[in-house]
Chains A and B, each alone.
Chain A
């Protein structure tokens, strides 16, 4: 079993839709939870990170962490075609420098 599981998609939604992206994990020692966006042929770009449980909002993006269920989510409101990319969740135990990534979910937002 992988430490971090993420539905690879692909996920296709119409412009303006609310998108929900999710990851589950098995190791309760994870403390830092991150979401990256990766455009085709580019490196990952950090969108948001959350420490421990709770919610964090940044513009159209909201990250949620439920440590009791070992489940994290990223919500994108009013999705735009420019949001079309692969979204990667990543986790770390203690900011030690070793990120554990999910497989990535490919998102396509259609105009």
Chain B
């Protein structure tokens, strides 16, 4: 049973560019949440998608946007990249909008902005 898979694993982008990160949830899961983890920090909640809609959002600017597809996979898009966007981006999936205690994390996409 495949867990949460994220792609790509590593990415280097130039300041001002746009990036798209992808996440496939664990089999049977329908809810995807995205987190940003800066070096030496804990993950910070970006937003959550359920039934193809953004349901909750953390304190992140509109440059961060997302999408969920009918097969429950999700994308995170970041526009106008800043150096401070360099971080590990984590995707977590769960069954149902709640069930935080049953969320599984992928191993993340490490984004470096130069």
Taking Cβ atoms with an 8 Å cutoff, the residues of A that contact B are 4, 6, 8, 32, 34, 36, 41-46, 49, 88, 90, 92, 94-104
Contacts and interface: CB of A to CB of B under 8 A. Distances in A.
Contact of B43 (A45, A94, A96, A99): A99
Interface string B71-114: 00000000000000000001010100111110111111010000
Given A44-B43, A92-B101, A103-B40, 19 more contacts: A8-B40, A32-B100, A41-B110, A43-B107, A45-B105, A46-B101, A46-B104, A88-B42, A95-B101, A97-B98, A98-B33, A98-B45, A98-B48, A98-B100, A99-B103, A101-B35, A101-B42, A102-B42, A104-B42
A49 B101 contact: yes
A95 B56 contact: no
Contacts of A104: 40-42
Nearest to B31: A97
Interface of B: 4, 31, 33, 35, 40-45, 48, 50, 55-56, 58, 90, 92, 94, 97-101, 103-108, 110
Contacts of A8: 40
A97 B94 contact: yes
A49 B101 CA distance: 7
30 contacts: A6-B42, A8-B40, A32-B101, A34-B100, A41-B107, A43-B4, A44-B105, A46-B103, A46-B104, A88-B43, A90-B42, A92-B100, A92-B101, A95-B98, A95-B100, A96-B56, A96-B98, A97-B31, A97-B48, A97-B56, A97-B94, A97-B97, A98-B45, A98-B56, A98-B58, A100-B45, A101-B42, A101-B44, A102-B42, A104-B40
B75 to A, nearest CB: 18
Contact of A43 (B48, B98, B100, B108): B108
B97 A44 contact: no
Contacts of A101: 35, 42-44
A45 B105 CA distance: 7
B62 to A, nearest CB: 18
A46 to B, nearest CB: 7
Nearest to B6: A43
